[in-house]
A and B are shown apart, each in its own frame.
Chain A
């Protein structure tokens, strides 16, 4: 399943940065107009990255860690707003931690994010009295419970969405805890989307219009996660559905519905 055969060998070289001269120029021209070849290039770069894996070696010296973190602290201290401006000035939207971490086992993502959140909250706290610290620990525990609740609470709804059409079988599961407005959605085998499109998840209430519940794109394997999107409090969900929207998402679903499920 690659791009065009005549570019196949050149793509492999290009992926390793080993293509030069005329060949490189023609390939770059072709890549500018061919999404299939760009996609194959990504795959090939990934294959090349596997070569990097064969290089187990000594760990870096401890001083390197200190050197990096000192540099980071220095940059953060000298211009905290400049960093923010940098991030947006390049035209990339600021990523949330969920974006940087990517797809991983759901529990691992949650635990990892919760520990970062905890650590980050602790740093921002600064000096605190013993009672304030105790109150904070309780809050952090509550935050962790809130994140994990839709998976572990017995009363959480589990909703499986199945594809409206035929295989390959996209599959999604939504875990929704109404009384905390907590939603966790995981999906597999989602078909890839054209460049400016994204999937959008909708909570279909018992009454009223569908409610947006997260915009997402599948990774290269067709997997995706949505965690705790903002939702109106305590909505009763009759069903969940997915549509294809423009990247920025929509406030009302664009037909057709591509996946749908009701409670088990």
Chain B
């Protein structure tokens, strides 16, 4: 994105703002805070378009990861831990259109629905509440090793559902 491409920025916003806002809102549960994260994420992209490496993934997924990280940081009121340039995401599904996103979202919800509940809960605690594995173990009363295995199994289940579907 050449600096000065404001109309291009508007195009990107129109395409991806619903993803970013939805993730921020899910994590923060507060529309004002979610809007702030939305603003921050897009401004960061505007200031540093080189942070996104298109060879390795799609912009929508990259934005989703950045947003979730920023929102967790905000939730925990800590300094951003990861420079956005360090985030590399290789993701198959392209979330460019609303239709694509809806289809993918349904698929993910399907996988989450059929997953063992303990697995789903561990995943959601880690992803949407930003809990560390020891915090999750503490809260659920499960051993650390079990939590680790559950989370990995959960991610693998998601990966498997989307493999070969492009």
Interface size class of B (residues with CB under 8 A): 35 or more
Contact status A52-B57, CB under 8 Å: no
Indicate the member of A17, A54, A94 with the most B CB atoms within 10 Å.
A54
Within 8 A of A (CB), among B64-83: 64-65, 67-69, 72, 81-82
The A-contacting residues of B in range 34-54, CB under 8 angstroms, are 34-35, 38-39, 42-43, 46-54
Query: What are 18 A-B residue pairs whose CB atoms fall within 8 Å in the complex?
Result: A38-B88, A47-B158, A48-B68, A49-B65, A49-B89, A49-B91, A54-B109, A55-B26, A61-B35, A68-B43, A90-B48, A94-B50, A97-B8, A100-B49, A101-B59, A102-B58, A116-B5, A219-B55
CB of B118 within 8 Å of the partner chain: no
B-chain residues with CB within 8 Å of residue A17 when the two chains form the complex: 69, 72, 81-82, 126, 130
A13 within 8 Å of B (CB atoms): yes
| B101 CB contacts on chain A under 8 angstroms | 53, 56
Q: Are B7 and A116 in contact (CB under 8 A)?
A: yes
Question: Are B47 and A10 in contact, CB atoms less than 8 angstroms apart?
Answer: no
**Hey, which chain A residues are within 8 Å of B127, CB to CB?**
16, 48, 51-52
| A residues adjacent to B (C-beta < 8 A) | 8-13, 15-21, 23, 38-39, 41-61, 64-65, 67-69, 71-73, 75-76, 80, 83-84, 86-87, 90, 92-95, 97-104, 108, 116, 119-120, 123, 216-221, 224
B49 x A87 contact (CB < 8 A): yes
4 residue pairs, one from A and one from B, having the closest CB atoms = A92-B50, A220-B90, A83-B3, A46-B91
Secondary structure at chain A's binding surface: helix, strand, loop or mixed?
helix
Docked CA distance A76–B23 (Å) = 28
B33 close to chain A: CB less than 8 A: no
**Which residue in chain A gives the minimum CB-CB distance to B109?**
A54
Bound form: Cα–Cα A55–B104 in Å: 10
B166 neighbours in A (Cβ, 8 Å): 221
Of B20, B21, B38, B132, which is within 8 A of A19 by CB? B132
CB of B98, distance to nearest CB on chain A (Å): 10
Q: Do B46 and A64 touch across chains, with their CB atoms under 8 A apart?
A: no
Question: Which residues of B sit under 8 angstroms from A48, Cβ to Cβ?
Answer: 65, 68, 127, 155
| Contact between chains at A9 and B105 (CB < 8 Å) | no
